[in-house]
Structure 1
Amino acid sequence: MKLSRLALGAYALALVVIIADQITKAMVLSAMPAEPSPLLDGFRIADVLPPVFNLTFVLNTGVSFGMFGGGEARWILSIFSIGMAVALSVWAYRANRCLLAAAIGLVIGGAIGNVIDRVRFGGVVDFLDFSGTGLFPWIFNIADSGITIGIALLILDSFLSERRSKVGVAVEKS
């Protein structure tokens, strides 16, 4: 079983997202006060560009952007995310376009990064806070960004590959 350069690129990008995600989350957790609890929901760590951008710790027990919160689905969400990462890994193995491989790698990395948190903490460590804009009220992390950008790139790749196939059909007919 020989891996293509595209598959290796996807897996490497996933690893980069996981490492960047876990390092930034470790930095956030190290900035938390030790007393009375290491996990104080809604704790403001730093005002970066107030009021537009701040670092605010939130433990998200739901899915993306806090939907279905409460923590009851911790293991179901973890198993689902691992299953998706495995399926995407197979897709990356078969990828034949650079944009597709990059998109898959971003989603895999984001999914695994958030699974690590669910297993360790019972929820996902979020800290990127753009809620001061009034346009985006959610707090998120690097893994969430990887997933969101990866899905956007999957959609873009789908449009581009569909367009290429229509151009190819038109060229064959002429």
Structure 2
Amino acid sequence: MDYLSKELALTYLSDGPVKIVGSLLQLKLAFNSGAAFSFASNATIFLSTFAMIVAASIFYYGRKITSTRWAIALGLALGGIFGNLNDRIFRPPGGLQGEVVDWIQLPNWPIFNIADMSVVSAAILITYLSWKNVPAIGNKDVK
């Protein structure tokens, strides 16, 4: 979904922003060399390497997860990581330095994409699960 949305943004937003709900929600094409919401734009290779390490860790430890809620959180994280890492690898200038395509704009907020939403949702869910002491490994989730 993230990849398709970025391709659509590249195709249909190159002529300028499109207002969806006045100034509340606009679709505006932007290229981001940093992390989510344009953070750390001068550290692209570091961010790409860090993303690969986090993804590998999730794959390694994720096999042991028995909690559905933790599996969802880590799945959201992986989806977001791979969505933006794909851009870093394959978009110019490439070689882990590619720029991420962003296209969703809200007032007083950096432009972002679906992968960013996935990573942020994962972070919120992981924080909540940790705060509630929900074990990732052990007994299955209680319904």
TM-score norm. by structure 1 comes to 0.69
C-alpha distance in 2, partners of 1:156/1:92?
18
Aligned partner of residue 133 in structure 2, secondary structure: helix
1:129 to 98, 102, 105: 105
Q: Structure 2: which 5+ runs fail to align?
A: 92-97, 136-143
- How far 1:138 sits from its partner (Å)? 1.0
Conserved 8 A contact 2:81-2:115: yes
- How far 1:69 sits from its partner (Å)? 1.7
Aligned partner letter, 2:116: D
Aligned partner letter, 1:145: M
| Aligned residue in 2 for 1:67 | 39
Q: Structure 1: which 5+ runs fail to align?
A: 1-19, 34-39, 164-174
| Aligned residue in 2 for 1:94 | 64
- How far 1:32 sits from its partner (Å)? 4.1
Moved more, 81-90 or 140-149: 81-90
Number of residues of Structure 1 aligned to a counterpart in Structure 2: 129
| Higher Cα Rg, which structure | 1
C-alpha distance in 1, partners of 2:13/2:72?
33
Dislocated runs of 4+, deviation >3 Å = none
Identity %: 26
TM-score norm. by structure 2 comes to 0.82
Per-residue CA deviations over 1:81-113 (Å, capped at 9, x if unaligned) read 111111012222111211111000000110111
Conserved 8 A contact 1:100-1:154: yes
More helix by share: 1
C-alpha distance in 1, partners of 2:87/2:27?
18
Per-residue CA deviations over 1:38-63 (Å, capped at 9, x if unaligned) read xx8xx41x111011001011101111
2:2 to 13, 21, 24: 21
